[in-house]
Homo-oligomer: A and B are copies of this chain.
């Protein structure tokens, strides 16, 4: 498929470490419940139906792009989507994702198979193609969970306070975790490649649970798969963004993974990260709750993030984590305007 978004698109320029005409901004979970038009679609379709029906996924992906002059779309999907055809389909009907039978021993984990996502997850590629036809001028981002985050979901069977099951396995049968991470790396690589082939101009890998481990364990277990994943994706030419939540202690490890851009949450000062990682392209990192504060605080803190981003080799503005469902769209308008009004000092 021919990519028709211009190579000079601010998002792509920033991800190459250039200084585009304006600071690019997109928002994690920008297609979501804070939008009345999204809630209207959700009234007639479940989250699962939205993810698996290309027309619906396309529609909600486009919604925030119609409201605001955002610098990227992100295909509507879930970080756990790659797992379904492997034999681990999560249930989203109760809000938080749950796996009926968590995988907790060698036999259960051994059943996971690497499969061609184009067979059973073709709806993701189809949704991407539909969005590209509708909005050829806007770069579209594809995504998936990072191997470690997916592994933790599989063993816990959902979210967790203490990741007791996953880490018990890590601390007793580390070789099983290494094997699981390898299998997941292969599947995630195929899933992201499918998205790039379908038209995504960039991809983001979400290591939402990077901070559950000791930094030494994160380096030992999570880094080799991340590196292999980034190496596998490099030839595709789409810039690779690596998101980490609470990744402050893992900065050196995250850099070593070889992504084109690191996306950080607000518990890591962006200016500090730019100083510790000279030459790096950074994404982030406004606290989503700032959108609930006064307009003056919102403007002031948004400008501060932009100025911190000036110190990086390239900066893509984003929130530090997904936008909250209670957010007012008016606050998003202020945010987008403030970011686009920012001018980097020469």
Contacts and interface: CB of A to CB of B under 8 A. Distances in A.
Interface in A277-297: 287-290, 292-294, 297
Question: Binding site of A, secondary structure by majority: helix, strand, loop or mixed?
Answer: helix
A167 B289 contact: yes
A315 to B, nearest CB: 16
Interface in A160-175: 162-164, 167-168, 170-172, 174
A211 B172 contact: no
Nearest to A249: B248
B249 A162 contact: no
| Copies of this chain | 2
A268 B289 contact: no
Contacts of A292: 164, 167-168, 171-172
A171 B301 CA distance: 9
Given A248-B248, A249-B269, A268-B249, A290 B171 contact: yes
A269 B171 contact: no
B289 A171 contact: yes
B246 A164 contact: no
A257 to B, nearest CB: 18
Contacts of A290: 167, 171
A272 B211 CA distance: 16
A167 B289 CA distance: 6
Contacts of A170: 293
A248 B218 CA distance: 15
A39 interface: no
Nearest to A167: B289
Nearest to A210: B267
Interface string A124-138: 000000000000000
B289 A324 contact: no
A58 B211 CA distance: 36
A326 interface: yes
- Max count, chain B CB within 10 A of own CB: residue among A163, A293, A294, A297: A293
A229 to B, nearest CB: 23
Contact of A164 (B164, B168, B289): B289
A319 B299 CA distance: 41
A298 B172 CA distance: 9
A179 interface: no
A241 to B, nearest CB: 21
Contact of A266 (B214, B266, B268): B214
A167 B287 contact: yes
B172 A294 contact: yes
A292 B170 CA distance: 10
A-B CB proximity, top 3 nearest: A171-B293, A167-B289, A248-B249
Interface of A: 162-164, 167-168, 170-172, 174, 211-216, 246, 248-249, 266-269, 272, 287-290, 292-294, 297-298, 301, 324, 326
